[in-house]
């Protein structure tokens, strides 16, 4: 299937996929409107694209094989059970000591001034005033702001959907003074607020769930982005929420 000399095949498909810049889009659109054969091609390719999605796009709600879930849970969480009750008690005692020490350190340890957690908390409390406040009221707003965020942070991220846990995105505070950062504000039906703070990572990795200033704070940082989720909730709820936020960041 060929296109007129002025429109390359690759351009035609980029037009179909919305990948052209404004000037090229206008040029290809004009050519398509002027050429019935080209117009037929576009219709056919669009129909094929839609059919591919309609045929293969289902199945997301199909139950997963239970052995997959069991294997992942076994590998990612549970330790092998000790063979004797004494061994079990000893192990439990050692865990209590280690974990309680860790929790105390994490609750009371000083926060470095340039720490992403400190900045996330300052953004949440509005101690640091945002450069822009973007209200969000529609999926179109979310898509547009996700695009801005991805461009500013130069990585593939989008505002995660937390509706499964009852939270709705209501606004995004944008900080652009030093380094671009975004504080995504969510609320639930009871007015409880959750924030998701995102900015570029300094390059190191970090993972923590903390309790600070009466808030549960979860920080996950890789070598590309730093994310901090804050809210008033139990550690278990934060764990689920942070997992949902993390999964939702992936496009």
Closest distance of CB 192 from another protein, Å: 20
Chain centre to alpha carbon of residue 239: 15
Bridge-based pairing state of the strands 193-200 and 225-231 = antiparallel
191 binds another protein (CB under 8 A): no
What token pair was written down for 44?
């056919």
Q: Answer yes or no whether residue 66 interacts with another protein by CB under 8 A.
A: no
Question: Considering the rule CB under 8 A, would residue 40 count as an interface residue with another protein?
Answer: no
Q: Report if residue 69 touches another protein, rule: CB under 8 A.
A: yes
- Residue closer to another protein, measured from CB, 91 or 126: 91
* C-alpha distances in Å from residue 233, one per residue of 213, 220, 243: 12, 18, 14
Q: Which CB, 138 or 250, lies closer to another protein?
A: 250
51 part of the interface to another protein, by CB under 8 A: yes
Site string for another protein, 145-184 (x = CB under 8 A): ----------xxx---------------------------
CB of 103 or CB of 122, closer to another protein: 103
Shortest Å, Cβ 58 to another protein: 6
- Asked if 193 interacts with another protein (CB under 8 A), we say no
Among residues 99, 133, 143, 144, the one that binds another protein under rule CB under 8 A: 99
What is the spatial distance between Cα 155 and Cα 142, in angstroms, rounded to a whole number? 17
Nearer Cβ to another protein, position 17 or 127?
17
By beta-carbon proximity to another protein, the closer residue of 142 and 157 is: 157
Work out which of 103, 118, 134, 212 binds another protein, going by CB under 8 A: 103
The yes or no reply on residue 14 touching another protein (CB under 8 A) is yes
One-letter-per-residue 3-state SS of the chain: CCCCCCCCHHHHHHHHCCCCCHHHHHHHHHHHHHCHHHHHHHHHHHHHHHHHHHHHCCCCCCCCCHHHHHHHHHHHCCCCCCCCHHHHHHHHHHHHHHHHHHHHHHHHCCCCCCCHHHHHHHHHHCCCCCCEEEECCCHHHHHHHHHHHHHHHCCCCCCCCCHHHCCEEEEEEEECCCCCEEEEEEECCCCCEEEEEEEECCCCCEEEEEEECCEEEEEEECCCEEEEEEECCCHHHHHHHHHHHHHHHCC
Q: Least distance from C-beta 224 to another protein, angstroms?
A: 5
Q: Does 60 bind another protein (CB under 8 A)?
A: yes
Residues making contact with another protein (CB under 8 A): 1, 9-10, 12-14, 17, 19, 44-45, 48-49, 51-62, 64-65, 68-69, 71-73, 75-77, 99, 102-103, 106, 155-157, 205, 207, 209, 220, 222-225, 235-236, 239, 242-244, 246-247, 249-251
């Amino acid at each position: 299937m060929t296109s007129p000399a002025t429109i390359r095949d690759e351009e035609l498909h980029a037009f179909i996929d919305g990948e052209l810049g404004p000037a090229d889009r206008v040029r290809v659109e004009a050519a398509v409107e002027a050429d019935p054969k080209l117009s037929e091609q576009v219709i056919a390719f669009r129909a094929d694209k839609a059919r591919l999605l309609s045929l293969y796009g289902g199945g997301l709600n199909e139950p997963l094989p239970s052995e997959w879930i069991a294997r992942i849970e076994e590998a990612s969480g549970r330790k092998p059970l000790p063979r004797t009750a004494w061994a079990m008690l000893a192990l439990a005692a050692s865990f209590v000591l280690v974990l309680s020490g860790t929790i105390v350190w994490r609750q009371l340890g000083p926060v470095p001034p340039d720490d992403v957690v400190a900045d996330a908390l300052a953004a949440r409390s509005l101690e640091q005033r945002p450069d822009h406040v973007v209200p969000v009221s529609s999926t179109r707003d979310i898509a547009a702001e996700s695009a801005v965020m991805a461009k500013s942070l130069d990585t593939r991220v989008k505002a995660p959907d937390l509706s499964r846990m009852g939270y709705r995105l209501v606004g995004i505070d944008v900080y652009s003074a030093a380094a671009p950062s975004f504080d995504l504000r969510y609320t639930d039906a009871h007015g409880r607020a959750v924030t998701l703070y995102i900015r570029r990572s300094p390059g190191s990795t970090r993972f923590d769930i903390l309790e600070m200033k009466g808030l549960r704070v979860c920080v996950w940082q890789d070598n590309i982005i730093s994310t901090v989720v804050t809210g008033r909730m139990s550690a278990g709820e934060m764990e689920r929420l942070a997992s949902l936020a993390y999964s939702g960041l992936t496009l």
